[in-house]
């Protein structure tokens, strides 16, 4: 009789004590807290990386087209310009300006013009005879976008044939997703620089 009573007592399930229940609850809360912390960190990193990806994509598009057209140009001029006009920088002055005019052929009435529009702070592209523009870069804060340099990187004072065209774009806002640039934001500054030389030197 005693044997059967002991056997039945051994099979019966035991309840958790208060201490065991508290330890289990604390362990579960710690695991859930760690998972939530990792999730929130992932969201924060994603918000930090997305503007970089958008900015890199826009920069790639801006530089790609401009690079191809400068390399294949027969001649070019630096100065100031708009959709309807272009003024070349005069000789014996610093060869830098807000516009770049490229000539794909020897004909001077066929050109491609890149210019910084002070009205909406955008770098734009147009060709001869066009009444519209293509936006190359948005939210550009610097007016002097283009400059002619020698092989050492020094600013030139004349339009020599073998010059290097340097482009610099300082952005105050990154597109897609829209992210302000400046002190107190994700990025203190965002700058795009490129140096391009023509392949055909006459």
Per-residue pLDDT tens digits of the chain, which is 202 residues long = 455 555 555 556 676 788 888 898 999 999 999 999 999 998 888 877 777 776 667 667 778 889 999 999 999 999 999 999 999 999 899 999 999 999 999 888 899 999 999 999 999 999 998 889 998 888 888 999 999 999 889 999 988 878 899 999 888 877 666 777 777 777 777 888 889 998 876 5
Place of tokens 């203190």: 188
> Tell me, what's the pLDDT at 30?
95
Query: How far are the Cα atoms of 60, 148, 161 from residue 166, in angstroms, in the given order?
Result: 16, 6, 14
> Tell me, what's the pLDDT at 20?
86
Q: CA–CA separation, 166 vs 150, rounded Å?
A: 10
> Tell me, what's the pLDDT at 29?
95
> Tell me, what's the pLDDT at 95?
94
Query: How far are the Cα atoms of 32, 67, 86, 130, 190 from residue 167, in angstroms, in the given order?
Result: 51, 10, 18, 24, 14
Q: CA–CA separation, 54 vs 50, rounded Å?
A: 6
Give yes or no for a cis peptide into 48 (omega within 30° of 0).
no
> Tell me, what's the pLDDT at 196?
92
- 11-23: b (≥16 Cβ within 10 Å) or e: eeeeeeeeeeeee
Q: CA–CA separation, 46 vs 54, rounded Å?
A: 12
Task: Report whether 193 contacts 168 (CB < 8 A).
Answer: yes
Q: CA–CA separation, 100 vs 47, rounded Å?
A: 36
> Tell me, what's the pLDDT at 96?
96
> Tell me, what's the pLDDT at 7?
53
Q: CA–CA separation, 22 vs 80, rounded Å?
A: 75
Q: CA–CA separation, 98 vs 9, rounded Å?
A: 92
Distance between terminal CA atoms of the chain? 115
């Amino acid at each position: 009789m005693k044997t059967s009573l002991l056997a039945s007592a051994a099979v019966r399930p035991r309840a958790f004590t208060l201490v065991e229940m508290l330890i289990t609850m604390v362990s579960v809360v710690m695991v859930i807290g760690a998972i939530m912390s990792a999730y929130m960190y992932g969201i924060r990193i994603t918000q930090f990386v997305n503007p970089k990806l958008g900015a890199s994509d826009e920069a790639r598009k801006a530089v790609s087209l401009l690079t191809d057209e400068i390399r294949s140009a027969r001649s070019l001029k630096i100065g100031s310009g708009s959709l309807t006009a272009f003024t070349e920088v005069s000789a014996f002055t610093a060869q830098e300006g807000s516009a770049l005019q490229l000539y794909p052929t020897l004909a001077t009435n066929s050109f491609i013009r890149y210019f910084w529009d002070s009205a909406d702070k955008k770098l734009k592209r147009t060709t001869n005879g066009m009444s519209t523009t293509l936006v190359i870069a948005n939210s550009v804060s610097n007016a002097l976008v283009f400059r002619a340099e020698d092989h050492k990187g020094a600013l030139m004072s004349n339009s020599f044939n073998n010059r290097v065209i340097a482009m610099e774009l300082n952005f105050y806002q990154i597109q897609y997703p829209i992210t302000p640039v400046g002190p107190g934001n994700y990025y203190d500054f965002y700058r795009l620089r490129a140096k391009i030389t023509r392949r055909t030197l006459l």
